[in-house]
Structure 1
Amino acid sequence: MTPLERLCQRNLDLLQSLDIAHRLVEHEPVLDYPTAHAVRQRFALRGVESKSLFLRIGEQRYAMLVSVEGARADWARLKQLLGSRPRIASDEELTELTGCVPMCACPFGHDTRISLLIDRAVLACDFLLYSPGPPQLTLEVAGAHLPRLLAALPNPQLEYP
């Protein structure tokens, strides 16, 4: 099993173990928002597309900023939360440390050394759409279940903004 397949399985196992209803659809790879919109319409997916930015903080610290499509990062606020100025990690770092492919970062299921920065807008969604890893898969999860999902994750978490 590849790292990306393991990430996907961790996400699916977590949802199942928490008894969180979800919908999984398979489609062409989604690596941009126009394709995501087309997939959402074709499969009548409800909700908001997630936006996950993999950040590097200093030499050895990493965080995943989990937000929604269209959200812009507040770099000053991120620096304040993280203690130093973050930068977007390289594609190589993303793949090596998460298994994800560039332009399709999964928000959940990562090594405990990766902190999660959860945008409040995510928690306000009726439904959140995100890839569990492979860009040809999309999960639809009700926003009401996200606090329970986040509480089950072992990663350090900070609320953003």
Structure 2
Amino acid sequence: MTPLESLCQRNLDLLRRLDIAHRLVEHEAVLDYPTAHAVRQRFALRGVESKSLFLRVASQRHAMLVSVEGARADWARLKTLLGSRPRIASDEELTALTGCVPMCACPFGHDAGITLLIDRAVLACDFLLYSPGPPELTLEVPGSELPRLLAALPNAQLEYP
């Protein structure tokens, strides 16, 4: 099993273990928001597209900013939360440490050493749409279930902004 397949399996297993209702659809690779919008329309997906930004915080520290489409990173706030100025991790770091494909970072299911920065807007959405890893798959998860999903993750979590 490839790292990307393992990531996908971890996400699906977590949802099943927690008995969280979800919808999984298969489609062409989604690596940009216009394609995501077309997929959302074609499959009548409800909700808001996630936006996950993989950050390098220090030489060996990483974080995943989990937000929604259109959100912009507040770098000063991120520095305050993380204790040092983050930068966007390279595509190579993203793939090596998460298994994700560049332009399609999965927000959940990562090594416990990756801190999650959870945008409050994520918790406010009716449904969150995100890739469980492979860019050809999209999950639709009720926003009301996100607190349970987050509580089951081993990652340190910080509220953002």
Cα distance per residue 1:84-122 (max 9 Å; x no partner): 000000000000000000000000000000000000000
Q: Does 1:126 align with 2:126?
A: yes
Q: CA deviation at 1:58?
A: 1.3
- Secondary structure, counterpart of 1:159 in structure 2: strand
| Aligned-pair identity (%) | 89
Give the equivalent residue in structure 1 for 2:28.
28
Cα distance per residue 1:60-79 (max 9 Å; x no partner): 10000000000000000000
Amino acid of the structure 2 residue aligned with 1:156 = A
- Give the paired residue count: 161
Give the equivalent residue in structure 2 for 1:43.
43
CA distance in 2, matches of 1:127, 1:82: 28
CA distance in 1, matches of 2:74, 2:117: 12
- Secondary structure, counterpart of 1:71 in structure 2: coil
Superposition pairs for residues 9-158 of structure 1, below 5 Å? 9-158=9-158
| TM-score, with length taken from structure 1 | 1.00
Amino acid of the structure 2 residue aligned with 1:135 = P
Supply the RMSD in Å over aligned alpha carbons.
0.2
Q: CA deviation at 1:28?
A: 0.0
- Secondary structure, counterpart of 1:52 in structure 2: strand
**Contiguous gaps of at least 5 residues in structure 2:** none
- Secondary structure, counterpart of 1:62 in structure 2: strand
Cα distance per residue 1:8-32 (max 9 Å; x no partner): 0000000000000000000000000
Amino acid of the structure 1 residue aligned with 2:53 = L
| TM-score, with length taken from structure 2 | 1.00
CA distance in 2, matches of 1:21, 1:73: 30
Amino acid of the structure 2 residue aligned with 1:75 = W
- Secondary structure, counterpart of 2:51 in structure 1: strand
CA distance in 1, matches of 2:20, 2:71: 26
CA distance in 2, matches of 1:39, 1:80: 37
CA distance in 2, matches of 1:98, 1:58: 17
**Contiguous gaps of at least 5 residues in structure 1:** none
